Amino acid sequence: MTGGAIMIVEILGAKMLSPYVGTSHFVWTAQIAITMIALAIGYYMGGWFVDKSPRVSALYWAILAAAAYLAGTVAVCEPVAYWCLDIKPFALGSLLASMALFFVPLALLAMVGPFFVRVLTSTVSNVGGNVGRLTAISTFGSFAGTILIGYVLVPFLPNSWTMYITSLLLALLALVHFATWRNEKESIVPVILLLAGLAFIGYGGVRRDQLRHAKAGEKFYGNSNFGMLQVLDDGGTRYYLNDYLVQNIYDTNAHQSTAVFTYMLNGLAHTYTSNLHDVLCIGLGVGITPMEFARTGAKVDVVEINPAVVPLAQRWFDLQPEKLNITIGDGRTFLNSCAKKYDAAALDAFLGESSPSHLMSREAFTAMRRVLKPGGTLVINTFGNFRPGSDFFTTSLYKTLTNVFTSVRIHTAGEDRNVFFVASDRSTLDFVNPPDSRHVHSRVRADVEKAYAGMIEPGREYPGLTLNLAHGRVLTDDFNPVEFFDAANREKVRRNLALSMRSRDGRE
């Protein structure tokens, strides 16, 4: 039980913090580091304590205390996460958030192993057997907890409920001990009172989380293997969010997106490609870009890693799956086994506030070039920066693409806007069709036209923006340090959006 709980807390802890601090390697490094140091101290304290007083009831009090602490994390996770957003550097903030929320219960649960080794060992001759058996049991529990959290709990239960249930199970485990094997002089009343308080605090946190998402403007709220999904309505404007990050904006009256990237992905493919008969979209989003390709007569294949997005997009964003050929899976895996050739490919895959690094390497782009027909076009949507010291990702992506493709172009509507890369094996990459913005939503038409005109390349400056190739490197599967060198930009995006979400909910 405690082995399984430790793995659930380690994985679920990162999931609970991800809407506020993201899912970068800094966050996972912090969570794993706190878990390991908590286990080390818990093992040490368990061994020290049992040598002083080998009373089994003391261990169950530790388990009960861990359960109470975990119930409390359900209620305080959000304010702790927001507090840590104000701490710089970001890596330190995420480390402190993990420590404040999960260090104590993990250390208390880690005391179980060495405690039981000592209690069950009567002679030196059976120490090895006891250590082996208890370690095996704990490891099996950890395996079961990992499978449970990854394949059952996260996809089908809110994070708050999963943590609450975990704390209740640990508390019930302690209650069973005290009810069955306690010393006759020991009263069970304090245990029952603590259990009742634990249930009250934990359920209060769960209810608070539910009430936050029961507002009239929130049409959908649900967990998935790839983050918390939300659909919000605000007077004819509909928002799709993943872990509090706005992924798309939709005018429900006009049935059109009001996000620039949806028009640029489709528009740049049409502008740079003679004929679009077969199109590959890596990343479904809410289906607006693939549906636009389909409306112009193209046969569209879509690869999307998150199956939970498809029914959401169908219900709230007018996706018609029957008009697309949708494959659920990772884009890189699809490319490695794909035998079909396409006139154009649109890469619009995001993990939170950034693009997955395994889709932004020389090997990944080589796979994309392989599935394109001669003269075919690859269009990429990213967040980029051109300021010196913050432009590693933008310049590296350009250098990596030019290492694979003959011609590369960059389009943007300005600083702190989406950046669009266009790549092809053609010797010159020029417009073959004039840009057409007549069908673009009026709210973003000016930005779309500005992005078409905003072409950036070495030796050609766009007002206020310069591409300095000395600031980047070719990214490979073996060495792709984008998350480290682009961390400040991604942290800024994540922090601003998370804080804007707090402001929207009236909690400033």
Q: What is the distance of C-alpha 385 from the center of its chain?
A: 21
Alpha helices in 371-471 (DSSP H): 392-404, 445-453
Q: How do the domains of the chain map onto residue ranges? A: 2-212, 258-504
Dihedral (Cα; 316, 321, 327, 328), 10-degree rounding: 30
Beta strands in 117-162 (DSSP E): none
Per-residue tokens: 284: 């479904």
Q: What is the distance of C-alpha 384 from the center of its chain?
A: 19
The tally of CA atoms less than 13 A away on the side-chain side of residue 378 is: 29
- What CATH code would you report for 258-504? 3.40.50.150
Contact 423, 404 (CB under 8 A): yes
Rounded to 5 degrees, what angle do the CA atoms 456, 458, 464 make? 50
Alpha helices in 149-187 (DSSP H): 154-156, 159-181
How many angstroms separate the CA atoms of 286 and 231, rounded?
Answer: 11
Domain spanning 2-212, CATH architecture:
Up-down Bundle (1.20)
Q: Which residues pair with 423 in a beta bridge?
A: 378, 408
Alpha helices in 273-373 (DSSP H): 288-295, 309-316, 331-337, 362-370
Helix orientation angle between 127-148 and 2-21, rounded to the nearest 10 degrees: 40
How many angstroms separate the CA atoms of 472 and 61, rounded?
Answer: 55
Rounded to 5 degrees, what angle do the CA atoms 441, 237, 211 make? 160
Rounded to 5 degrees, what angle do the CA atoms 313, 319, 324 make? 120
How many angstroms separate the CA atoms of 430 and 418, rounded?
Answer: 21
The total of other beta-carbon atoms located within 10 Å of residue 461's CB is 12
| Predicted local confidence at residue 507, as pLDDT | 40
The total of other beta-carbon atoms located within 10 Å of residue 7's CB is 21
Contact 43, 110 (CB under 8 A): yes
DSSP string, 328-348: ES-HHHHHHH----EEEEEE-
Per-residue tokens: 196: 């009742």
Sheet with 229-234, strands from edge to edge, namely 218-222, 229-234, 237-242, 245-251, 256-257
List C-alpha distances in Å: 379 to 108, 315, 340: 51, 27, 18
CA atoms 172, 174, 178, 181: torsion sign: positive
The tally of CA atoms less than 13 A away on the side-chain side of residue 472 is: 28
SS3 label, residue 481? coil
How many angstroms separate the CA atoms of 341 and 483, rounded?
Answer: 31
Contact 164, 57 (CB under 8 A): no
Which residue type does 74 have? V
One pLDDT digit (tens) per residue for the chain, 508 residues:
999 999 999 998 888 887 777 666 777 888 999 999 999 999 999 999 888 888 888 899 999 999 999 988 988 888 888 787 777 776 788 889 999 999 999 999 999 988 888 888 766 677 888 888 888 999 999 999 999 888 888 777 888 888 989 999 999 999 888 888 767 666 777 777 777 777 777 777 666 665 565 565 889 988 888 888 999 998 889 999 888 788 899 999 999 999 999 999 999 999 999 999 999 999 999 999 999 999 999 999 999 999 999 999 999 999 999 999 999 999 999 999 999 999 999 999 987 667 788 899 999 999 999 999 999 999 999 988 888 888 889 899 999 999 999 999 999 988 778 899 999 999 999 999 999 998 999 999 999 999 999 888 776 666 667 777 778 899 999 998 887 777 777 777 666 666 665 655 544 3
Q: 248 φ, ψ to 5°?
A: -160, 155
Contact 451, 412 (CB under 8 A): yes
How many angstroms separate the CA atoms of 493 and 500, rounded?
Answer: 11
SS3 label, residue 440? coil
| Predicted local confidence at residue 462, as pLDDT | 65
Q: 265 φ, ψ to 5°?
A: -60, -50
| Predicted local confidence at residue 141, as pLDDT | 92
The total of other beta-carbon atoms located within 10 Å of residue 431's CB is 13
For the chain, count helices (H), then strands (E): 18, 13
Contact 499, 85 (CB under 8 A): yes
Element (H, E) at 382: strand 372-383
Contact 407, 424 (CB under 8 A): yes
The total of other beta-carbon atoms located within 10 Å of residue 48's CB is 11
